[in-house]
């Protein structure tokens, strides 16, 4: 093996796939001093709630958290663009000493007056808990004063992992759910959960469901509006997209409103088709839905298949490394790459759980490296050892791939290209093809460039 | 209700938080790994932000606070973090910056480090330097300057005897700027000790094997040597003198300090070059007099395209001062000069620098956010914006060009290579401005001349 | 009726006339005044055209034909012209190019000069070099190469003994290119004799007193020295070997000739640097390996923005070759490669240079005009144009960006300072291309991301 | 005086204004070896005919003449843009040896088929006469074959000066005049001659005449159409703008059609007002015209006067040098500059005649330098001696001014800004103010910059 010194604390989080069973040490906090690729609780909440386009998103804390999350995501809105602004209470020493409630109240009041949002989310960041601000109380007051829902999001960075941030966001959303009007909703209706409309993906998927004859009550939270979220409990089914981000909301809605849910992925032809068929199956008492689904899948796959076959010819045998936020996304990526003739030589996630890793182990070839909460040193070591041709990850992984002369595909929230659905698979394949086939690699040291 | 400025929300901040600036400084020291004492997210967000500008790996470790840490104190985490960083990266220096969290719970980092060193007295430890950077106090520029001062405080020593070098405290300039400043100083046949120097670490080459810590940066020995230099040139004019690294060197090692401002624009460059000339007792090399000559020739050739144009300028305070002074040299009125900076000296320095006759036309906004800038711009009917990528949405609304300078450049390529300083940097900026005006004129014209 | 290519009209020429190229060469010799033998308009038009690009005074004298001259021959006018130029300018060299008029009436310039010298044998005459440049034969590039050859023919002498210098025949590059090429050669600790060298004469400083002939240029003594150099590097690959200055030096003074092509793109630069390295027996200086390293790093960082894009390239033939090869390195397909040049070698050199697998996708147009280019572009659905200002109207129609390189740049500022060669020039070009693509994407997007 | 050695041949063309009479040696060909700022016969023809926007302009000769005149002028068209293309027969050695008629015929045929122009102008350049092509014959043939006027323009560069080019152009235009329909033309009607619609100037001037109740039959040649030129003999008056460019056409039309003409200038408030009043005076039997003119002049001057006064405060006492193509333009410039409080320290033209220079002498202060057909060495010497603050000229003069650190104003055909009429004066003053007041001069060597 390589000369990489895995930190002792991390030994249980790095594995080579083989016949032996292994237990991934996941769901733990990151080792102190590790350059984790993970973010924090706040990040998890922000990712989930960000696309709600007619809400005010006020970050309560010093400036950093708001500054670093200003307009960096490709989550599109067809109407209001309020989510793309960055609001912060911008706490100063004075408030840290004497408390920030007064400033929070003032900021909320000013911003609601100025922007007239349909709701406001107030993100509590690290020091808010420490200085003891009663954010809930301020939110209640402003809710009363301004007549819109003002919802606290308890996302203090240190209080857990990104997953806890997802949970906090789901709780916040759940405060809206059930407060709207549900009459006129078709019995053949769904909510789409965990789809954030990156590059317009939600629009593509909604169109599929429309063609199938299924009403989409609400997308959570891609191109979302507060009014739609409020009536989302009127849907017959919750369809939860891969990542663990919004499963909790589906569970809460099942418990409170008896809405069943299914888990799907819209990534790759196979998974997308499966997702649509699964939804159709749920409405099996409406056979026309299944029929429409069949026609849709056939047409859509027919449209992209020839190009994909052409890409496959070139990509066959190329090796990919995957390091993404949620493990569920990794499953789909492995399948999609396999469809393109590529093998996965490394796979890992920031936030996978034991079941996720067990499944990964089953999906992967022997000797594939499987990692949890990895860091640049580990990732760079393994992509070189495995001679990867492609790295799939986020912005923080990009320079690792590039420095080593390896192609890269962004599969995170900052990308601007829709990768979901059938067309998304075509985009993905094009992107993979484009980067893997670029002539620039001839100059990379690993190919003898100097 | 009476709302004071500081009571209102910040919309689209024109500043970043203190640890970012400190981390950038630590990235400019050879063999150094920055370590943030606080939550994981801080390091991750800052890494992401820096990576998107520099397009280089930016490893910043974190002590990864958990809920327990916040309750019981971060000492153990910090010690563990240093140990782990040392084991994995074998750094020569670990540069610790605090976050608002560790500051607020009251961690005494100095004490923790003292304990840690005592505990590890047997082993071979890297240098450990720490700077206090609570993000509720100041901006990334304060973190930057404080980290420079902290490094000098920890390392610079009076070594009795002039090593003949010149210390340069460049402030938060680009890697290309740093390379150019070094080239200039060395062309005066003089050693250049530049702190920080991330010219290679954040603008490097492809790698054959993964570099845990990229090559480059000022060495620890070189920082020590700064205590024996001929003089310090501090390119910040807004930084509080008592907080500055130049002051540390002066107070401790008796090194004379010169505050030149950023060498951007002819007059500021002249000031810098003549300072170097005086310090080294050498004439300005012909290469630079020629660059200057060509620059002035270009000023004349281009003046009619831009005379009387109105510009909105926003950036870090020292860059705003440099840009505004330069614009006045070429006949563009910097109708809005804004910075999120909180030094408290922007107005004063600008008023010293800019021509008095323009006073009434120029609006200076300290502690600005982009909402302030947008409102001021709507009133000022500007022809162009000069600043970082973050002003794009406003220029898009106004339908005017944005000339991208400074940090961050997130919507264009090559920000780390963009040159701002020296006659050459000024030339590039001048050409860019003229061409932006020409392009706007050409594109919006019905005629579409190919001849302008 | 059967129309052959040469029977049809030229619409929006992608070439200029031969005397322009020759005058440019004469502008690159120290103390030289170009003199055109023909009508007044030729000199005036060419001056105007050059001034608009270089934004410098361009004095070109004319023998100012009148109707009588055309009937009775231009001898007297030419002699008078040389006398007047000499009296007013006190030149070291008068560089005479003919025009279509003097060529067509059959003036024997050689004979006229011989008579003139005999008549003036008492006085102190400048060097007089003449080149035949009828504009119905070839383009400005032929005038350029022929003038170089004529100067060498007239002046270069084998002086027995190697002076260690390297001759550079850069072709029609920018003043900035010339400065950079000289910097590179000199960084190999080797003298550089560059013909022509208009790096100062056409990109100079402001003047305190009017300079009849601007400072700069290769001296006549230096041109003589070229006959004693170590080697000649000829950056043209399309110029007929037998016409080239390198051939004159080889045939006459036995100087080995190396045809590197323009050092544009990594491979072409590598070829140039390794030629220098081999000739001087020195390693490539670290400065350049670092520039190269950063360039490759940028190639990787930027590749996804541009991979698979389609470009229309038009320029002088050698520049087309350099650009097309560079584009193929970075994954852009040069779908149309066009030049008004008439060397007859463009296709052949391109086919040697470009990857075989792209052959079918690339359309090469020799002797092109902009109507040909427009028609080819309409079919090729390009994403961008790379070439001089003259393609602007086409890109405006297509709504795609034009990256301006070469000559003339009439609708932007600083064409004389634009760098095309070396790793640094390639870096600038690469950054410009990526940024043009990003800008187009940002501007045409409904969303207007400030983060790309 | 300075140490400049004036060429002996040129001594009669450079004068210092004083009480003694002098005779300007003008209207001569340029000295051989002088770097004259003049162009050639072809240039003169091209300048006059260029703005005819629906005509084909084919330059018969090697490529240079066409290449250097491609789309370089600001002469706007409200419709067709055919004049902005550059067409050349691009003669090669073969045609120089065997004759170019066949190629000319072919090119004309092709281009007319492709562009369907209303007429074609064929410019004969230097070598066409020498190789003996019968351009007239080819033009006649194509006229017959294609049914549009195909008009030769005898503009061989060496056959005289730019003025001879104007004459050739006037002759060419005169072939069109008189071939169109003139009914429906008002008795209060004019042609505007010598106005080329640089930056839309002709449109501004036409608007003045419209407001005065005067019909403009044809502008020659700004934003011109062949059809309009054909009927221009129906106008009651020809109004000829300053430059000598089109006086000859006015004379030919007077002789052939009895149309009187007056000479005017639209440059400067004074001259523009005078021009309009002169036209009104011509139609004195229509008193409403004079009345409308008065109102117009008052309103227009009122609109620009306050700004001009503000400029004047700053510009007062500044010194200008003028070197332009035609002397008539110089007269107006001197007056306009005087209006702005500026003095003229050098004035000259490429093509003035004796009367022009006599008038200049009268207009100018003592010691003003007056030159004919000057060159960079003379011009640079005198602007420095006279400490000019501003140089007014064309592109070739620009670098002379700039190198010496002197402001510059382009008053030639390449400018894009309209300088004619009342608004044009405002533009001119703005431009003068802008350049003179630029802070860049502080760096000029002559002001102690180094």
Asked if D414 and B296 come within 8 Å (Cβ–Cβ), the reply is no
Residue boundaries of the structural domains of chain B: 18-155, 166-280, 286-444
Q: Look at residue A170 and tell me whether its pLDDT is greater than 50.
A: yes
Q: Look at residue B142 and tell me whether its pLDDT is greater than 70.
A: yes
Average pLDDT value for residue range B204-219: 95
Cα separation, C227 vs C252, whole angstroms: 8
**The predicted structure's pLDDT at residue C306:** 97
**The predicted structure's pLDDT at residue C1:** 34
Per-residue pLDDT band at A447 (split at 50, 70, 90):
confident
Q: Note the pLDDT tens digit of each residue in C224-247.
A: 999 999 999 999 999 988 889 999
Report chain A's mean pLDDT, rounded to a whole number.
Answer: 92
| B86, closest residue in chain A (CA to CA) | A33
**The predicted structure's pLDDT at residue A204:** 97
Set of chain D residues whose Cβ sits within 8 Å of the Cβ of B329: 439-440, 442-443
Cα separation, A8 vs C267, whole angstroms: 46
Quickly name the fold that domain B286-444 has: Rossmann fold (3.40.50)
The answer to whether A204 and A427 are in contact (CB under 8 A) is no
The answer to whether B443 and C440 are in contact (CB under 8 A) is no
Residues D119 and D241 in one domain: no
The more confidently predicted of residues B172 and B121 is: B172
**The predicted structure's pLDDT at residue D9:** 78
The answer to whether D138 and D168 are in contact (CB under 8 A) is no
| B436, closest residue in chain C (CA to CA) | C412
Per-residue pLDDT band at A22 (split at 50, 70, 90):
confident
Residues A254 and A373 in one domain: no
Q: Pick the residue of D121, D150, D158, D378 with the most C CBs within 10 A to test the interface with C by mutation.
A: D158
Say whether D118 sits in a helix, a strand or coil: coil
Is C208 in the D-facing interface, judged by CB distances under 8 Å?
Answer: yes
Q: Pick the residue of A4, A10, A35, A442 with the most B CBs within 10 A to test the interface with B by mutation.
A: A35
Q: Which of C313, C311, C317 is nearest to C367 (CA)?
A: C317
Last residue of a domain, one of A149, A175, A201: A175
Asked whether residue A159 is assigned to any structural domain, the reply reads: yes
Is C274 in the D-facing interface, judged by CB distances under 8 Å?
Answer: no
| B383 min Cα distance to partner chain A (Å) | 24
Angle between helix axes B140-155 and B18-27 (nearest 10 degrees) is: 50
Per-residue pLDDT band at A243 (split at 50, 70, 90):
low
Average pLDDT value for residue range A378-385: 92
Q: Look at the block and give the residue holding tokens 């049914």.
A: D147
Cα separation, C343 vs C448, whole angstroms: 46
Main-chain dihedrals φ then ψ at residue C38, nearest 5 degrees: 165, -155
**The predicted structure's pLDDT at residue B25:** 98
The conformational region for residue B44 under phi > 0 = left, psi -120 to 50 = alpha, else beta, is: alpha
Q: Note the pLDDT tens digit of each residue in A280-305.
A: 999 999 999 999 999 999 999 999 99
Q: Which helix (H) or strand (E) holds D189?
A: strand D189-195
A 10 A CB-CB count for D359 gives 15
Asked if B411 and C442 come within 8 Å (Cβ–Cβ), the reply is yes
Percent of chain A with pLDDT over 90: 78
Cα D282 to its chain centre, rounded Å, is 25
Q: Look at residue A24 and tell me whether its pLDDT is greater than 50.
A: yes
Tokens representing residue A102 in the block: 């007064």
Residues A193 and A160 in one domain: no
CATH code (residue D370): 3.40.50.1980
Q: How far is CA A83 from CA A47, A57, A74, A217, in A?
A: 11, 7, 11, 21
Main-chain dihedrals φ then ψ at residue D22, nearest 5 degrees: -140, 155
Chains A and D touch (3+ CB pairs under 8 A): no
Q: Pick the residue of C300, C426, C441, C451 with the most A CBs within 10 A to test the interface with A by mutation.
A: C300
Set of chain C residues whose Cβ sits within 8 Å of the Cβ of D110: 3, 8-9
Last residue of a domain, one of A301, A329, A355: A301
Q: Note the pLDDT tens digit of each residue in A117-145.
A: 999 999 999 999 899 999 999 999 999 99
Class for the domain spanning C286-442 = alpha beta
Asked whether residue D72 is assigned to any structural domain, the reply reads: yes
Residues A166 and A292 in one domain: no
Residues A162 and A46 in one domain: yes
Q: Note the pLDDT tens digit of each residue in B256-275.
A: 999 999 999 999 999 999 99
| D108, closest residue in chain C (CA to CA) | C9
Residues A329 and A404 in one domain: yes
Give A92's DSSP letter: -
**The predicted structure's pLDDT at residue D1:** 39
**ipTM score for this prediction:** 0.95
Going B134 to B136 to B140 to B144, the CA torsion angle's sign is negative
In sequence order, the 6+-apart residues with CB closer than 8 A to the CB of A47 are A73, A162, A165, A166, A169, A196, A245, A413
Average pLDDT value for residue range B27-46: 96
**The predicted structure's pLDDT at residue D414:** 76
Lowest model confidence (mean pLDDT) among B103-112, B155-164, D191-200: B155-164
Last residue of a domain, one of D146, D175, D204: D175
Q: Look at residue B411 and tell me whether its pLDDT is greater than 60.
A: yes
The answer to whether A123 and A68 are in contact (CB under 8 A) is no
Per-residue pLDDT band at C5 (split at 50, 70, 90):
very low
The more confidently predicted of residues A409 and A26 is: A409
| B100 min Cα distance to partner chain A (Å) | 7
**The predicted structure's pLDDT at residue D64:** 96
Say which of A34, A93, A111 has its CB closest to residue B84: A34
Q: Which chains touch A (3 or more CB pairs under 8 A)?
A: B, C
HSE toward the beta carbon, residue C139, CA cutoff 13 A: 21
Set of chain B residues whose Cβ sits within 8 Å of the Cβ of A158: 38-40, 65-67, 69-70, 101
Cα radius of gyration rounded to whole Å, chain B: 22
Q: Look at residue A3 and tell me whether its pLDDT is greater than 80.
A: no
Asked if B300 and D440 come within 8 Å (Cβ–Cβ), the reply is yes
Give D93's DSSP letter: H
Per-residue pLDDT band at D3 (split at 50, 70, 90):
low
| C175, closest residue in chain B (CA to CA) | B294
Residues D291 and D342 in one domain: no
| D5, closest residue in chain C (CA to CA) | C88
The more confidently predicted of residues D266 and D2 is: D266
Quickly name the fold that domain C166-262 has: Rossmann fold (3.40.50)
Asked if B210 and A395 come within 8 Å (Cβ–Cβ), the reply is no
Per-residue pLDDT band at B398 (split at 50, 70, 90):
very high
The angle formed by the CA atoms of residues D161, D393 and D327, to the nearest 5 degrees, is 50
Cα separation, A290 vs D312, whole angstroms: 82
**The predicted structure's pLDDT at residue B5:** 47
Q: Which of B373, D148, D74, B409 is nearest to C438 (CA)?
A: B409
Residues D289 and D342 in one domain: no
Q: Which helix (H) or strand (E) holds A409?
A: strand A407-410
Average pLDDT value for residue range D294-300: 97
Set of chain D residues whose Cβ sits within 8 Å of the Cβ of B266: 443
**The predicted structure's pLDDT at residue C2:** 38
Instruction: Specify the number of domains making up chain A.
Output: 3
Q: Look at residue C352 and tell me whether its pLDDT is greater than 60.
A: yes
Asked whether residue D450 is assigned to any structural domain, the reply reads: no
Class for the domain spanning B166-280 = alpha beta
Q: Note the pLDDT tens digit of each residue in B64-116.
A: 998 889 889 999 999 999 999 999 999 999 999 999 999 999 999 999 999 99
Q: Which chains touch C (3 or more CB pairs under 8 A)?
A: A, B, D
Asked if D76 and B307 come within 8 Å (Cβ–Cβ), the reply is no
Report chain B's mean pLDDT, rounded to a whole number.
Answer: 95
Q: Pick the residue of D440, D445, D447, D448 with the most B CBs within 10 A to test the interface with B by mutation.
A: D440
Q: Which of D37, D121, D113 is nearest to D86 (CA)?
A: D121
Residues D244 and D334 in one domain: no
**The predicted structure's pLDDT at residue D25:** 79
Q: Look at residue A2 and tell me whether its pLDDT is greater than 60.
A: no
Tokens representing residue C327 in the block: 């584009």
Cα separation, D215 vs D237, whole angstroms: 10
HSE toward the beta carbon, residue C347, CA cutoff 13 A: 9
Main-chain dihedrals φ then ψ at residue B393, nearest 5 degrees: -60, -30
Q: Round to the nearest angstrom and report the end-to-end CA distance of chain B.
A: 55
Asked if C452 and B305 come within 8 Å (Cβ–Cβ), the reply is no
Q: Look at residue D56 and tell me whether its pLDDT is greater than 90.
A: yes
The more confidently predicted of residues D30 and A279 is: A279
Residues A269 and A336 in one domain: no
HSE toward the beta carbon, residue A421, CA cutoff 13 A: 22
Is B57 in the A-facing interface, judged by CB distances under 8 Å?
Answer: yes
Q: Which architecture characterizes domain C18-155 according to CATH?
A: 3-Layer(aba) Sandwich (3.40)
Q: Look at residue B141 and tell me whether its pLDDT is greater than 90.
A: yes
**How much of chain A is helix, strand and coil, in % rounded to 5?**
50, 15, 35
- Domains B166-280 and B286-444 belong to one CATH topology: yes
Q: Look at residue D80 and tell me whether its pLDDT is greater than 50.
A: yes
Residues D223 and D114 in one domain: no
Lowest model confidence (mean pLDDT) among B149-163, C396-410, D125-139: B149-163
Asked if A402 and C300 come within 8 Å (Cβ–Cβ), the reply is yes
Average pLDDT value for residue range D95-113: 96
What is the extent of the structural domain holding A233? 189-301
Set of chain C residues whose Cβ sits within 8 Å of the Cβ of D35: 43, 47, 59-62
Lowest model confidence (mean pLDDT) among A433-437, B240-244, B415-419, D104-108: B240-244
**The predicted structure's pLDDT at residue C4:** 44
CATH code (residue A212): 3.40.50.12380
Residues D193 and D148 in one domain: no
Q: Look at residue C160 and tell me whether its pLDDT is greater than 80.
A: no
Per-residue pLDDT band at A32 (split at 50, 70, 90):
confident
Asked whether residue D130 is assigned to any structural domain, the reply reads: yes
The more confidently predicted of residues A247 and A11 is: A247
**The predicted structure's pLDDT at residue D325:** 84
Q: Round to the nearest angstrom and report the end-to-end CA distance of chain C.
A: 55
**The predicted structure's pLDDT at residue A36:** 79
Cα separation, A48 vs A174, whole angstroms: 13
């Amino acid at each position: 093996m390589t000369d990489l010194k895995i930190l002792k604390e991390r030994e249980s989080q790095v594995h080579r796939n083989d016949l032996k069973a292994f237990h991934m040490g996941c769901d733990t906090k990151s080792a102190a001093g590790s350059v984790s690729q993970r973010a924090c609780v706040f990040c998890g909440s922000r990712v989930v709630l960000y696309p709600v386009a007619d809400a005010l998103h006020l970050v309560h804390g010093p400036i950093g958290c708001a500054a670093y999350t200003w307009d960096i995501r490709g989550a599109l809105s067809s109407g209001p663009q309020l989510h793309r602004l960055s609001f912060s209470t911008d706490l100063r020493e004075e408030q840290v000493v004497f408390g920030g409630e007064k400033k929070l109240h003032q900021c909320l009041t000013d911003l609601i007056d100025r922007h007239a949002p349909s709701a406001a989310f107030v993100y509590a960041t690290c020091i808010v808990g420490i200085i003891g601000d009663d954010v809930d109380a301020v939110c209640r007051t402003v809710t009363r004063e301004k007549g819109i829902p003002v919802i606290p999001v308890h996302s203090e960075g240190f209080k857990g992992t990104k997953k806890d941030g997802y949970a906090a966001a789901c709780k916040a959303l759940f405060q809206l759910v059930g407060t709207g009007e549900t009459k006129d909703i078709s019995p053949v209706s769904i909510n789409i959960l965990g789809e954030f409309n990156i590059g317009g993906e939600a629009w593509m998927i909604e169109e599929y469901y429309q063609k199938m004859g299924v009403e989409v009550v609400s997308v959570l939270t891609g191109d979302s509006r507060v009014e739609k979220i409020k009536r989302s409990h009127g849907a017959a089914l919750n369809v939860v997209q891969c990542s663990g981000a919004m499963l909790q909301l589906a569970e809460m809605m099942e418990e409170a409103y008896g809405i069943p849910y299914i888990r799907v992925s819209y990534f790759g032809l196979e998974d997308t088709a499966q997702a649509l068929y699964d939804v159709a199956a749920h409405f099996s008492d409406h056979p026309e839905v299944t029929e429409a689904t069949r026609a849709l899948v056939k047409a859509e796959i027919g449209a992209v298949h020839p190009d994909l076959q052409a890409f496959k010819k070139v990509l066959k045998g190329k090796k990919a490394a995957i390091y993404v936020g949620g493990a569920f996304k990794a499953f789909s990526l492995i399948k999609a790459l396999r469809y393109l003739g590529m093998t996965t030589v490394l796979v890992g996630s920031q936030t996978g759980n034991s079941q996720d890793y067990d499944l990964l182990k089953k999906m992967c070839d022997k000797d594939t490296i499987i990692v949890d909460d990895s860091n640049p040193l580990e990732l760079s070591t393994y992509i070189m050892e495995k001679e990867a041709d492609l790295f799939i990850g986020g912005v923080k992984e990009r320079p690792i791939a590039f420095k080593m002369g390896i192609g890269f595909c962004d599969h995170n929230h900052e990308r601007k290209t829709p990768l979901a659905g059938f067309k998304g698979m075509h985009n993905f394949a094009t992107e993979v093809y484009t980067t893997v086939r670029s002539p620039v690699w001839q100059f990379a040291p690993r190919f003898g460039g100097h | 209700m009476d709302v004071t400025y500081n009571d209102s929300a910040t919309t689209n901040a024109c500043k970043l938080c203190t640890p970012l600036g400190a981390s950038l400084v630590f990235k400019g020291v050879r063999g150094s790994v920055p370590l943030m004492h606080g939550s994981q997210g801080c390091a991750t967000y800052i890494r992401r932000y820096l990576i998107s500008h520099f397009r280089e790996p930016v490893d910043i470790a974190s002590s990864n606070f958990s809920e327990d840490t916040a309750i019981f104190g971060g000492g153990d985490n910090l010690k563990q973090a240093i140990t782990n960083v040392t084991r994995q990266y074998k750094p020569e220096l670990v540069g610790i910056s605090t976050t608002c969290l560790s500051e607020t719970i009251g961690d005494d980092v100095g004490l923790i480090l003292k304990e840690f060193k005592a505990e590890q007295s047997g082993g071979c430890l890297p240098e450990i330097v720490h700077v206090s950077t609570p993000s509720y106090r100041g901006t990334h520029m304060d973190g930057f300057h404080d980290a420079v001062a902290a490094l000098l405080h920890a390392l610079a020593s009076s070594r009795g005897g002039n090593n003949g070098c010149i210390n340069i405290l460049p402030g938060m300039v680009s890697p290309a700027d740093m390379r150019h400043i070094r080239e200039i100083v060395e062309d005066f046949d003089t050693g250049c000790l530049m702190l920080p120097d991330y010219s290679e670490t954040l603008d490097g080459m492809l790698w054959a094997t993964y570099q845990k810590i990229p090559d480059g940066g000022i060495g620890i020995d070189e920082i020590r040597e700064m205590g024996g230099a001929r003089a310090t040139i501090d390119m910040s004019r807004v930084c509080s003198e008592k907080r500055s690294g130049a002051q540390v060197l002066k107070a401790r090692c008796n090194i004379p300090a010169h505050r030149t401002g950023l060498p951007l624009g002819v007059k500021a460059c002249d000031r810098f070059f003549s300072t170097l000339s005086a310090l080294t007792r050498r004439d300005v090399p012909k290469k630079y007099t020629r660059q200057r000559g060509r620059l002035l020739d270009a000023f004349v050739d281009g003046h009619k395209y831009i005379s009387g144009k109105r510009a909105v300028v926003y950036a870090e305070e020292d860059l705003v001062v440099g840009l505004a002074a330069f614009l006045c040299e070429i006949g563009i009125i910097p109708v809005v000069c804004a910075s999120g900076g909180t030094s408290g000296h922007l107005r004063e320095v600008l008023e010293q620098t800019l021509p008095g006759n323009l006073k009434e036309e120029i609006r200076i906004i300290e502690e600005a956010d982009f909402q302030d800038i947008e409102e001021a711009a709507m009133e000022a009917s500007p022809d162009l914006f000069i600043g970082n990528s973050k002003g794009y949405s406003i220029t898009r609304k106004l339908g005017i060009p944005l000339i991208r300078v400074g940090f961050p450049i997130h919507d264009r390529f090559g920000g780390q290579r963009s040159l701002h300083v020296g006659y050459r940097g000024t030339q590039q900026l001048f050409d860019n401005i003229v061409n932006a005006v020409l392009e706007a004129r050409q594109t919006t014209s019905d005629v579409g001349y190919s001849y302008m």
